[in-house]
Chains A and B, each alone.
Chain A
Amino acid sequence: MMSKAVISEIHRRIAEAFNVFDNESSKSVDVREVGTIIRSLGCFPSEAELHEMIAEVEEEEPTGYIRFEKFLPAMTKVLMERKFRPIPKDVLIQAFEVLDQEKKGYLEAEELKKYMTQEGEPFSQDEVEEMLSAALDNKENVIFYKDLVSKMTFEDL
């Protein structure tokens, strides 16, 4: 049973994150930013889950904008039910190890690119390029995924 204080704090967190993208103080944001907002609140939805949620909060006739009125209750529910939980570090590393079939401890750029653009919910060209530019070890031209996971984890929330 959540106390009022806890809920109001959750509401404030959601409002803050929402307002960062509400440029015209119109209490609505571009639908393309909603994923960023949800994720910045500590959730790890898949693309499918994200689309589902957007469909829930969209207008009857989609306008391209999501209103705070609809977003707040849906997002509050997500946070209270702890949906879309973070992926623990070790699980993530295991995922990399599955891809690293030869157990080298690293992945070649081409390998990672192939998996990311062909499997799961594929990355776009831009997405994979950006990931590689951040992930690639300059000297050896491979991705040391254990280091990568450490580097790209926000130790908060």
Chain B
Amino acid sequence: MRAALLIQRWYRQYVARLEMRRRCTWHIFQSIEYAGEQDQIKLYNFFGYLMDHFTPANRNLISHIFRENEICRDIEWERYFCYKNIEVPELYSGPHLSFPLTVSNVADLVEAFKNKQQLHTRYVLQLLLESWKLLRMLPNINQVSTCQTKEITICGDLHGHLEDLLLVFYKNGMPSVEKSYVFNGDFVDRGKDSIEILLILFAFMLLYPNNVHLNRGNHEDYIVNLRYGFTKEVLGKYRLHGKKILKLLQKIFSWLPLATVIDQKVLILHGGISDTTDLNIIAQADRHKYVSTLRPPKRRWVASGGNSTAGRHKVNGRMDNSLQRHCSLAYNSPLRSRYNFQSRSMQNFSSKVNLAVEEELKEQRRMAGLSQSYHDLRSSLSSDSDSDNYETYEDDSNEWKQVIIVDMLWSDPMPQDGCIPNEVRGGGCYWGPDVTEKVLRRHNLQLLIRSHECKQEGYEFCHNRKVLTIFSASNYYEVGSNRGAYIRLGPDLVPHFIQYQANRSTRELTLRQRYRGTFSLRALREQLFAHKSDLLYAFQDYDTDNTGWISLKHWATAVEAVLRLGLPWRVLRSQLVTTTQDGMLDYQGWLRELPITEPKTESLLETMYKQRSNLETIFRIIDSDHSGLISFEEFRQTWKLLSSHLKMEISDEAILDMAVSIDFNKDGSIDINEFMEAFRLVDRTMNLPSEPNHTKTDE
């Protein structure tokens, strides 16, 4: 019947349009996510820039950022983290833990979190301390065998999605002596229950140390946490002791193993590999030295102190091809000759330098409130400024190891052969099937399992099925965006997949609701707004007669040229541009409709808006006592430095005006949360249209 045919034709077209939108949404989220990670590296470059432009005026700021309390010994840390004085009040209704942990302790813990309870600080610290002790004894690479437990379960990124972890336990059973698990990093950030996931994983690890294996992910890193939500989460849930907990976690993260190998045949690590990956070198590294994979190894900073010559101490590396690509990513101007000059000059002026450095370090120690034997400090310093050659070798080899480690945590596979810098993420590399072949053969392996990238089906093969990506956080970008999955591996080492999706109610959402893609569009509009001035220039370039109108074709080309997100703008156009006339767009009108707030000083605010993630990160670092407040002066210094790094002209008055207007409390300090609120940032992971329905049955 013709009528039926018409209706079918029409409906199928509608569904196809929705499907296209859904796929675009995916691309949008991915490109914005990775662009955010790039920002992180740009931030790192900014810190490098700060170190380059080290003047007495900046010193406080920089010492805030890079204040290292690492000189201390572990015993003193254990005292600092002592939980014994923390009382658990009668009113506390959460779980009570006793150590060593028992099976019922851990079961209680899981049950409590399921019921949205919080673990008391005392138990948190105790649990973390025990975990720390255990982790320090583990090798860099876990070796696991299927002889002991027939099957091993491997989970990918969880990113604070507790309901996904609980779903996995429900479907697969909890860890036990019969059921081994490997958790492949990125347990925290983005989702809202990161700390609960950590506590559960550590609890199981303590209970079954031979059966539960954790690999470090790129998000197990305090600098990354500052940006992506974990720091915020902990400070919010543990107002009194959050700072301590975070410090302890900083150490714990650096002690997480870097990889797991099963039956000497299957390599599991978080990001991936590169042409430099060598497991023998990894096995020997001091993994805990790399507190953040986004910072130079610690030794540098200890030696550089407050003296101006020493201050310009820079990280550099062998000018190998592979290292070179990392140097160019991390810093803009390291030069070997400069380094040699530094260390030579340190020898020549060693007495002067040592004195100045010692003063500075004494000051730092005082500020940190720690006692430290002068003798210990002196000896660690003198070994630095001793034999030039030894130091060069040591530091170069540390460089090399850091490169390998960054690659392990940040890299992504690509279809073409070769190994190139991962410019999308700004860290690690893209590696091709030939590199997979080479590395697997080098170590006699047959499969590489990694995570790090969200996949719609929760898992994906590539490189001739030699590389397998596994991702365990469902609905990662938004409700309905993707499934999660986990792998079961038996002695035959053939992976079996189980997929799931938390939040069953996605099924019941109507087509239109599900594919509305509002979150991605909002994120996209934010990006467009942030580039308003550049967009205006680009549009005006096409509008040669100054009519105020441009064609949609030019709109698409201009937007892509400015934003460079590689998105299908012509496909997205209908959702972003709603008022056109005869295929032409009034671009100024369109730009006016974009913004979220009314900009006062247009370019200043716009730039701030563009830099807001970086700003927030820097502010949180400056706010070292995690009070949520920074002073005017700190704000001014930060902004001044950032804008000179961005090559912008900013007058002091403009900054002061801005600071005053942001100081909502009028008390001379700026509340970071209020500042970010001024841009009406909405954490999109928190903004779900309806409360998820936690059913755990099979989908």
Contacts and interface: CB of A to CB of B under 8 A. Distances in A.
B171 interface: no
A20 B23 contact: yes
Given A26-B415, A39-B16, A131 B11 contact: yes
B14 interface: yes
B24 A95 contact: no
Interface residues of B, number: 35
B210 to A, nearest CB: 39
Contacts of B8: 46-47, 116, 120-123
Interface in B1-43: 1-17, 19-20, 23-24, 27
A151 B512 contact: yes
B692 interface: no
A95 B511 contact: no
Interface residues of A, number: 50
A44 B13 contact: yes
B17 A99 contact: no
Given A24-B415, A96-B3, A116-B4, A46 B571 contact: no
Given A20-B23, A46-B9, A99-B3, A36 B16 contact: yes
Given A120-B4, A133-B510, A134-B512, A20 B571 contact: yes
Given A87-B9, A120-B1, A154-B17, A130 B568 contact: no
Contacts of A21: 23
Contact of A156 (B2, B510, B568, B574): B574
B1 A115 contact: yes
A39 B12 contact: yes
A133 B13 CA distance: 17
Contacts of A46: 5, 8-9
A36 B7 contact: no
Interface in B544-575: 553, 556, 568-571, 573-574
Nearest to A91: B6
A13 interface: yes
Contacts of B19: 36, 40
Interface string B492-515: 000000000000000010111000
Interface in A131-157: 131, 133-134, 151-154, 156-157
A131 to B, nearest CB: 6
Nearest to B19: A36
Contact of B13 (A9, A19, A39): A39
B415 A40 contact: no
B568 to A, nearest CB: 4
B571 A40 contact: yes
A25 B556 CA distance: 21
Nearest to A21: B23
A130 B2 CA distance: 22
Nearest to A19: B568
A66 B6 CA distance: 27
A115 B20 contact: no
Interface string B557-601: 000000000001111011000000000000000000000000000
Contacts of B573: 156
Q: Which of B8, B14, B556 has the most CB of A within 10 A?
A: B8
Contacts of A94: 3
A13 B340 CA distance: 55
A31 to B, nearest CB: 15
Interface in A16-47: 16-17, 19-21, 24-26, 35-40, 43-47
A92 interface: yes
Contacts of A40: 16-17, 19-20, 571
Interface in B299-339: none
A98 interface: yes
A114 B298 CA distance: 72
A82 interface: no
Contacts, number: 118
Contact of B7 (A39, A92, A156): A92
Q: Which of A13, A36, A91, A119 has the most CB of B within 10 A?
A: A36
A120 B23 contact: no
B570 A13 contact: yes
Contacts of B512: 134, 151-152
A36 B574 CA distance: 17
Contacts of A13: 570-571
Nearest to B568: A16
Interface in A100-132: 115-116, 119-123, 127, 130-131
A4 to B, nearest CB: 13
A134 B510 contact: yes
A95 B5 CA distance: 9
Nearest to A114: B4
Nearest to B1: A119
Interface in B507-537: 508, 510-512
A152 B510 CA distance: 12
A10 B511 CA distance: 29
Given A16-B570, A154-B574, A95 B12 contact: no
B9 A45 contact: yes
A17 B11 contact: no
A98 B553 CA distance: 41
Nearest to A26: B415
Contacts of A70: none
B123 to A, nearest CB: 46
B511 A116 contact: no
Contacts of B27: 20
A109 to B, nearest CB: 15
Given A91-B6, A96-B7, A119-B4, A16 B569 contact: yes
B7 A116 contact: yes
Nearest to A13: B570
Given A92-B6, A95-B6, A120-B4, A25 B511 contact: no
Contacts of A134: 510-512
Given A134-B510, A152-B11, A20 B570 contact: no
Nearest to B551: A9
A83 interface: no
Q: Which of A21, A26, A39, A99 has the most CB of B within 10 A?
A: A39
A15 B512 CA distance: 26
Contacts of B6: 87, 91-92, 95, 120
A16 B511 CA distance: 24
B420 to A, nearest CB: 14
A157 B574 contact: yes
A97 to B, nearest CB: 8
**Ordered nearest first, which 9 A-B pairs have the shortest CB separation?**
A39-B16, A156-B574, A120-B4, A120-B5, A119-B4, A40-B20, A16-B568, A98-B3, A95-B3
11 contacts: A5-B553, A13-B570, A38-B16, A39-B17, A95-B2, A120-B2, A121-B8, A152-B10, A154-B14, A154-B574, A157-B574
Given A36-B19, A40-B19, 15 more contacts: A12-B570, A16-B569, A16-B570, A20-B23, A44-B9, A45-B9, A87-B6, A95-B2, A99-B3, A115-B3, A122-B8, A130-B15, A152-B11, A152-B512, A156-B573
Interface of B: 1-17, 19-20, 23-24, 27, 415, 508, 510-512, 553, 556, 568-571, 573-574
